[in-house]
Amino acid sequence: MIVVTPGEPAGIGPDLIIQWAQNKRSVPVEVVCDAEMLARRSSELGLNLLVKSHLNAPTLEAGKVTVRDVPLVNLPIAGTLDTENSGAVLQALDLAIDGCLNGEYEALVTGPIQKSAIQESGISFTGHTEYLSDKCDVDSVVMMLASKEMRVALATTHIPLSRVALTITKKMLEKKLRLVFKSLTQTFSILDPKVAVSGLNPHAGESGHLGLEEVEIIEPVCSKLRGEGFRVEGPLPADTLFGRRGEHAPDAFFVMYHDQGLPVLKYASFGKAVNITLGLPFIRTSVDHGTALDIAASGSADVGSFASALEMASDMCIKPTDEI
């Protein structure tokens, strides 16, 4: 069974669940959230939704959804953030994580979360990826976004640009690259994967004239892995990295920071890509977009990425969790 959390209750997370649930499904899904909130949002959308208690068997029927109720402090107004609900949002996520860790659920699919609302409530929170890593007490995880067009993995995630260079170390890069190769082989069934690694600086440092990170950190790691038989290209200039097509196309791109790689992927695949956390003891996928507060409850939210995240989680469930 797959567990779903809607994320920010004032955003489009609830909308996506309700719209997706209008169709019959082949995989049992349980949603962890405020049941009354979900029922109210379905009325606002003009869609019929029967909310069933998680004490019942998960339903596969169209127009019905199984919910583990986690009441919010205040029922949300679509599009309006309420920091008083932040604790309940994380409580729902914690229940889902615990259920995955104890084997109750096979995979977790998360809706978009509003980091600022949680931060402003006084809770330290930088994103799902970092939160999941801490809760699962794992040493290294990788954020990867995947679509039919490409896969992009990140060396660093939700940190200020000013901290990126200080965060990148040989040890960190090697761990994350090994995890990417393991996932490409075992999760995506690619026999001899190739990964293209970006530099950090313009022109990949121009032989040290535009920065030393490539010479001192990135190239030594790539060279070490190449010596072990891994097909690693780089460090390569980021401005031409994604132009590698056809026989030169890698199975994944590995970039140094969030906005170095994700704008390209989202330009090519927005609304169709899936966010995957590699290195957790269970499967976790998510949407490729944010909370879209401005269109919450309007009926115009595109369910494509959410449906893709559920489909990918279902497909990944056939793999043993220690291989992800």
Nearest to 197 by CA among 219, 216, 182: 219
CA 248 centroid distance within chain: 27
* Distance separating alpha carbons of residues 132 and 280, to the nearest angstrom: 8
Which of 229, 252, 272 is at the close of a domain? 272
Confidence of residue 324 (pLDDT cuts 50, 70, 90): very low
How many percent of the chain have pLDDT more than 90? Answer: 84
pLDDT in tens, 133-156: 999 999 899 999 998 889 999 999
> Is the CB of residue 323 less than 8 Å from the CB of residue 280?
no
What's the token pair of residue 300? 């115009």
Looking at the fold, whether 46 and 80 belong to one and the same domain comes out as: yes
Looking at the fold, whether 214 and 291 belong to one and the same domain comes out as: no
Which of 247, 272, 297 is at the close of a domain? 272
* Distance separating alpha carbons of residues 240 and 68, to the nearest angstrom: 47
Looking at the fold, whether 13 and 133 belong to one and the same domain comes out as: yes
Looking at the fold, whether 36 and 87 belong to one and the same domain comes out as: yes
Model-wide pTM > 0.75: yes
Pairing of strands 64-69, 151-154: unpaired
Which of 272, 300, 315 is at the close of a domain? 272
What's the token pair of residue 307? 């449906």
pLDDT in tens, 257-309: 999 999 999 998 888 899 999 999 999 999 989 999 999 999 999 999 999 99
Q: Is 186 left (phi over 0), alpha (psi -120 to 50) or beta?
A: alpha
Nearest to 323 by CA among 167, 186, 121: 186
Q: What are phi and psi of 284, to 5 degrees?
A: -140, 125
Looking at the fold, whether 180 and 248 belong to one and the same domain comes out as: yes
pLDDT of residue 63: 94
* Distance separating alpha carbons of residues 136 and 133, to the nearest angstrom: 5
Residue whose tokens read 């899904």:
29
pLDDT in tens, 182-239: 999 988 889 999 999 999 999 999 999 999 999 999 999 999 999 999 999 999 999 9
Tell whether the model's pLDDT for residue 25 goes beyond 90: no
Q: Kindly report the CATH number assigned to the domain that includes residue 147.
A: 3.40.718.10
Strand partners, 196: 233, 253
Looking at the fold, whether 148 and 98 belong to one and the same domain comes out as: no
Looking at the fold, whether 131 and 161 belong to one and the same domain comes out as: no
Looking at the fold, whether 5 and 134 belong to one and the same domain comes out as: yes
Looking at the fold, whether 127 and 92 belong to one and the same domain comes out as: yes
Identify the H or E element spanning 266. helix 258-269
For residue 222, the enclosing domain spans 139-272
Tell whether the model's pLDDT for residue 323 goes beyond 80: no
* Coil/strand/helix, residue 194: strand
Looking at the fold, whether 164 and 267 belong to one and the same domain comes out as: yes
Looking at the fold, whether 117 and 225 belong to one and the same domain comes out as: no
> Is the CB of residue 113 less than 8 Å from the CB of residue 8?
yes
Residue 177's contacts (CB-CB under 8 Å, 6 or more residues apart) are: 195, 197, 221, 222, 225, 230, 232, 254
Q: Is 253 left (phi over 0), alpha (psi -120 to 50) or beta?
A: beta
Confidence of residue 70 (pLDDT cuts 50, 70, 90): very high
Q: How many domains does the chain have?
A: 2
Looking at the fold, whether 237 and 214 belong to one and the same domain comes out as: yes
